[in-house]
Amino acid sequence: MNRPFRFGVNMVAPSTGNEWRKKCRRAEQLGYDIILVADHIGMPAPFPALVAAAEATQRPRVGTFVLNAAFWNPTLLAREIATTDALTDGRFELGLGTGYVRAEHDMAGLRWGTPGERVSHLRRAIGELDRLFASPGFQPRPAQRPRPPLLVGANGDRMLRLAAEHADIAAFTGGRAGPDGRPTVITAEDLDERVAFYRRHASARTEPAELNVLVQMVEVNADRRAAIRPFLSYVPHLTEDEALDLPILLLGTVEQMAEQLRVRRERYGFSYIVVLEPGMEAFGPVIEQLHGE
């Protein structure tokens, strides 16, 4: 049985306090269920931005999408998580990933590490967070017990196994890491295989996880082929038809985009849809179209 849709917007542009609160209130007006902040150098710092987002709004939850695990000491991160969850009255969701931009690690003076080392570090961080939040003596305490919901962003085998074991929300990136760590877009058929791999490893779960996908581009355009052509230079390994089928893109009329999401929920199980801030307004009517489904 399909889960109801849930919609998030990932805020990426630095703002003044007044601008930030205005953007967050607009996201609430448009019907977004959660306001998210990434963890990249040059973008807003996640935790203060999320506390401000929660104070400016009434209904949406707030979350990280996603924290770069290598940026954080687990004990200090636990303090940030617990404080943010308490200050937002239990509206916080924790998104974690390995990090995929080597240049950011270099700028921060942090070791990049091999893919395996980065996954191992994330696994240790999740274990340490769980240990700390289970400890009666740990302070401060999060409002949600034993901890806020955990989202893990994944594509590779090790990360999908990790998500299957620990994540309340499994986020599919729609990309495969290249030599520099940056993702290369995979086909819709490749994503079928990745979701199937995850499901095999999550089959023993007592409670199925929510499945998430990040939509990289939203464009309202009755001519879907005209809309996709500027994007094709970024995916030279894909045909136009293959690009139009990508779950990370939403192109067409509002009605067509709503139907694309229904089809993708049926095909992959994606019920939690996140768009980037530049697509926030364009996606609003799609949320209205799918409200309650």
pLDDT of residue 291: 93
Distance CA(48)–CA(44), nearest Å, equals 9
Q: pLDDT grade, residue 177 (50/70/90)?
A: confident
Residues 6+ apart with CB under 8 A from 33: 6, 7, 8, 59, 60, 61
61-101 tens-digit pLDDT: 999 999 999 999 999 999 999 999 999 999 999 999 999 89
Over 80: is that where the pLDDT of 183 sits?
no
Distance CA(42)–CA(137), nearest Å, equals 36
Distance CA(153)–CA(170), nearest Å, equals 6
pLDDT of residue 181: 59
145-161 tens-digit pLDDT: 999 999 999 999 999 99
Average pLDDT, the chain: 95
pLDDT of residue 174: 86
pLDDT of residue 178: 65
pLDDT of residue 179: 60
Q: pLDDT grade, residue 182 (50/70/90)?
A: low
In this structure, are residues 74 and 96 in contact, taking their beta carbons and an 8 Å threshold? no
Cis omega (within 30 of 0) on the bond before 275? no
With b meaning 16 or more CB within 10 Å and e meaning fewer, what string describes 183-195?
eebbbbeebeebb
Distance CA(216)–CA(31), nearest Å, equals 19
Neighbouring-strand partners of residue 62: 35, 92
Class of domain 6-290: alpha beta
Q: pLDDT grade, residue 176 (50/70/90)?
A: confident
pLDDT of residue 173: 86
Calculate mean pLDDT across residues 251-261.
98
Calculate mean pLDDT across residues 238-263.
97
In this structure, are residues 101 and 46 in contact, taking their beta carbons and an 8 Å threshold? no
Annotated domain spans of the chain:
6-290
pLDDT of residue 217: 95
Cis omega (within 30 of 0) on the bond before 208? no
pLDDT of residue 31: 98
CA 122, distance to chain mean position in Å, is 16
Q: pLDDT grade, residue 175 (50/70/90)?
A: confident
pLDDT of residue 36: 98
